[in-house]
Amino acid sequence: MSQQERKYFGTDGIRGTVGQAPITPDFVMKLGWAAGRVLTRGSTDRNKVLIGKDTRVSGYMFESALEAGLAAAGVDTHLLGPMPTPGIAYLTRTFNAHAGIVISASHNRFEDNGIKFFCGNGSKLPDDVEHAIEQELEKPMESVTSRELGKAHRVTDAAGRYIEFCKSTFSNDINLSGLKIVVDCAHGATYHIAPAVMSELGANVIALGNQPDGFNINEGYGATSPEALQQAVLAEGADVGIALDGDGDRLIMVDHTGAVVDGDEITFIIARQRYQRGLLRGAVVGTQMSNLGFERAVQTLGLDFKRVSVGDRYILEMLQANDWVLGGETSGHIICLDLTTTGDGIISALQTLEAMVRSGHKLSALKAGMTKFPQRLINVRLGERTDVKNCEKIASAVAAAEQRLGDTGRVLLRPSGTEPLMRVMVEGQDAGLVDELAEHIADVVQQSVDEAGTADVVRLRKA
């Protein structure tokens, strides 16, 4: 079942506005029931699923709904409380659970929430399992007998277990003593974990965004809003800043000058460190949105670079299929598959800090090995009747742009997996040409949208 054919699942689980379908208590309860039936199918053991959440106020409601649905399917639940998404993946493995469920909308504001799943091995669900859950959702919900109902258990040491795991991924022959680090937790799921990890490894830690109240997650803090971190790094005279998103699977960093270091740059730094120590196996994996400068820098090291569709699940699939170990997205989803099974902001930060400690260089010097190409991204909001896939006018504009760029740039048109948007991205060595071509293609897409209905072009950023 392709991404486009799914009714509920997007690129990263099911997500939306709380109170609007499908993010409603009744649907989430049935989702728990359907997932419980599918994920424990054929099991002869006492069925067990973990549930964790970020710090959104709606997490309480959906935790209860999932618990009820799973119980009706005869599945025991182990409630972890607020936990980073990668922490839930780790604990799913170590508890030998059938699955792990995350209640989170990642980097979105508190008004949104979502549900995503991990298999028993800590990896994200394959497409066919998501398809099976959707098929189960179409059936009437039926409870098992009272004797077979699932029970709920509270896990009290979940945070401590995950803190120790994160620390274990950092080489034991070095530590972070002497480093002053600002850690921005986005008022999210890492608020009680990330500062402790860094501090226990010896760093002098200044914590930001570590006072969640249910409503302030990702608000002015975290990986999607690094301005507060930049200011704090400069004000504190810190060596480095770490910004995580609401559920802790995304990482953006700030060097001592206050400059942002994105996921492409972080992945390159980790790749070079691994390569120099003989720890890098196979190609480095990026996505269609990864900066061309990242690809060229990796190739300069003599390494292969492969691209996949946007979404860390597709990076993971490529790594697993080829027995490779490293991949990442510009947004900061970075997977170190030899250390863990999913993108993990804390572990990725530790790998970058290890490169700093071992080299004796500041983050600004480490990222200097990669030169980002100018990139322009424009989002065109699509109308309900818009179909731009086979539009000759758009195809012609893209072909003309690619001809002008030659081998010094590229063009990408990609529909968003979470919003009704067409993302128009152009990058190349000439910033002026990049802007010109991106504007022109976006205008052509807009014209096609207007022919089917009205929509606005939302210009997000100039890179």
Active site residues: 106
Q: Are 116 and 102 in contact (CB under 8 A)?
A: yes
Q: Are 69 and 28 in contact (CB under 8 A)?
A: yes
Pairing assessment for the beta strands 260-261 and 284-287 based on DSSP bridges: unpaired
Closest CA to 462 of 372, 394, 402: 372
Distances (CA, A) of 409 to 283, 295, 376, 390, 425: 21, 12, 12, 23, 11
β-partners of residue 6 are: none
Q: Locate 293 and state its tokens.
A: 């400068």
> 257: burial class by Cβ within 10 Å (0-12, 13-18, 19+)?
exposed
Query: Residue 39 carries which side chain, given as an amino acid letter?
Result: L
d(CA 32, CA 269): 40
β-partners of residue 48 are: 76
